Every structure is written in C-alpha cells, then in structure tokens.
Structure 1
C-alpha cells in the first residue's frame, strides 16, 4: 500500500530583484564621448570636446540590454 504524503513543500520565491541595465561600453554610461577638435589646413589636433555617444544616443545604457 502506498503511503500518503501529509506535508507540503513550501513554494519557492519567484520574485526577482530588479536588474540594473548594463552601461554603454564606449561612453561608460555617461552618454558623452571625447571628440578630437582639428584646426588648420593640415588638420592638426588642438584639443577635445564632448560629443554625443552614437552607440547609445546619449542614454548611457547598452542598446542590446
């Protein structure tokens, strides 16, 4: 004769913690990248300025995430 189970297992926790989206690799999550400024006829570099990250379009999160 088969035994009857009298206790039940407790249900497993199914809620997950919210996952933070991955940061964009080229800009490091800031949304800005350094762009070299060139001047003169020979186009020599004189400095850098901030530019919009074209990978994430300034959001700072990875587009694949």
Structure 2
C-alpha cells in the first residue's frame, strides 16, 4: 500500500517582544533630582533619558 505524503507548511511564530526596562518601566525616561545651592539641597525633579536602555524602553538580554 502506498503512503500519501503531504507537504506541511511552516507555522509562523509571532516576534518575541523584549521585556520592558526595569528602571524606567518601559517609558525611556527617569526622574533626575535637581540640586541647587552651596549645600546642594534637592529642589525638584526633571526628566532624563534612561541610561540602562538609552531611551528605547526595552531591556537588553
């Protein structure tokens, strides 16, 4: 008895999305404390680029 062979199509997998960066939580920006005066007292915060992911918001593996 002859066996029937069929060609199977390769299943496409979804691209794997890297996890979000932990320090910036995926936003790409972190809060940096602004210090002023001779005693360098903190007066507020401003947004700065995340140095862990360089603003991409994705964690490196």
TM-score by length of 1: 0.74
Q: Does 1:20 align with 2:17?
A: yes
**Counterpart in 1 of 2:42?**
45
Q: Deviations over 1:27-57 (max 9, x none)?
A: 0111100000000011000000001100001
In the alignment of these two chains, the number of paired residues is 61
- Mark the runs of 5 or more structure 1 residues left unpaired by the alignment: none
TM-score by length of 2: 0.78
The structural deviation recorded for 1:7 is 7.0
2:18 aligns to what SS in structure 1?
coil
